[in-house]
Amino acid sequence: MSDDNPFGHSITAEDIIDTLGFFDTWEERYKYIIDLGKELPPMPDALHTEDRLIRGCQSKVWIEPAFNGNKLEFLMDSDAFIVKGLLGVVLAAYNNQTAQHILDFDIEAYFAELDLLQHLSSARGNGLKAMVARIQAIAADAA
């Protein structure tokens, strides 16, 4: 799965923090986040199933975890451009990491450093939290 997924490989949480810091306005940051979503590897339509849907998201979001050695890899997709970008932000922190790293990573501090949650609608913020909770649950099951 990792061959075509830059998140957690060439695009890390630190990269997202650094890059977003270059932009002066949230309009520019949103554009960057949407562009991040274009970097997500495509998810085959066959994986767009009910059991892969993340509940609590306003848009449809699908997740397919897999192990690459002792690291978790996530294939994720959404039907909304901004959500695909948010998936990129989350995957930069969580993809290609051990289950323990995922559980130990301070996602709240990461989002605070990005100043992200204040700039999302409450529905999008809740969806983002649902994505994080699902990934953390997968990591907890794997740990």
Is this model's pTM higher than 0.85 or not? yes
Alpha helices in the chain, H assignment, sequence order: 13-22, 26-37, 81-94, 99-104, 107-114, 122-142
At 56 the pLDDT is 87
Active site residue 57: yes
Question: What three-state secondary structure class fits 31?
Answer: helix
Residue range 47-100, pLDDT digits in tens = 999 999 998 888 999 999 999 899 999 999 999 999 999 999 999 999 999 999
Point out the catalytic residue in the list 57, 63, 92, 116: 57
Assign domain 2-142 to a CATH class. Answer: alpha beta
Residue range 10-28, pLDDT digits in tens = 999 999 999 999 999 999 9
All residues at 6 or more sequence positions from 113 whose CB lies less than 8 Å from its CB, including other chains: 17
